Amino acid sequence: MEWQFSADTVPSSFVTEAQARSVLGKPPATGAWRDGDPVGSRRFLDVGPLRFEAGGSLGAVRLAFETWGELSPSGHNAVLVLHALTGDSHLVGAAGDGHVTAGWWGGIVGPGLAIDTDRWFVVAPNMLGGCQGSTGPASLAPDGSEWGTRFPYLTIRDQVAAQRAFSDRLGIDRWAAVIGGSMGGMHALEWAIGAPERVARLAILAAPPVTTADQIALNSVQIEAIRSDPLFRSGDYYDADDGDGPTRGLALARRMALLNYRSPAELNLRFDRGWQSEISPLGAGGRFAVESYLDFHGNKFTRRFDANSYVTLVQAMDSHDVGRGRGGVPAALSRVTARTVVVGIDSDRLFPVEGQRRIAEHLRHNIDGADPVVLESGYGHDGFLIETAAIGAQLGRLLD
User: 331-345: per-residue pLDDT in tens?
Assistant: 999 999 999 999 999
Q: Which of 89, 134, 139, 182 is labelled catalytic?
A: 182
Q: What pLDDT score does 6 carry?
A: 44
Q: What pLDDT score does 20 carry?
A: 46
143 noted as active-site residue: no
Tell me phi and psi for residue 63, to 5 degrees.
-115, 135
Q: Which of 134, 319, 381, 382 is labelled catalytic?
A: 381
Q: What pLDDT score does 153 carry?
A: 98
Q: Give the mean model confidence (pLDDT) for residues 155-181.
A: 98
What whole-number distance in Å separates Cα of residue 193 and Cα of residue 215? 22
Residue 312 has pLDDT above 60, yes or no: yes
Q: What pLDDT score does 276 carry?
A: 74
Half-sphere exposure of 37 (CA within 13 A, CB side): 19
182 noted as active-site residue: yes
Q: What pLDDT score does 241 carry?
A: 56
Tell me phi and psi for residue 194, to 5 degrees.
-80, -25
83 noted as active-site residue: no
Residue 397 has pLDDT above 90, yes or no: yes
Q: Give the mean model confidence (pLDDT) for residues 18-22.
A: 47
Determine the topology of domain 17-399 in CATH: Rossmann fold (3.40.50)
Q: Which residue has the higher pLDDT, 240 or 95?
A: 95
Confidence band for 14, pLDDT divided at 50, 70 and 90: very low
Q: Which of 348, 362, 377, 382 is labelled catalytic?
A: 348
* 72-94 pLDDT tens trace: 999 999 999 999 999 999 999 99
Percent over 70 (pLDDT), the chain: 90
Q: What pLDDT score does 10 carry?
A: 42
pLDDT averaged over the chain?
92
Q: What pLDDT score does 284 carry?
A: 60
Q: Return the minimum-mean-pLDDT range out of 16-20, 175-179, 266-270, 312-316.
A: 16-20
Confidence band for 278, pLDDT divided at 50, 70 and 90: low
Q: What pLDDT score does 281 carry?
A: 58
Q: What pLDDT score does 282 carry?
A: 60
Q: What pLDDT score does 288 carry?
A: 86
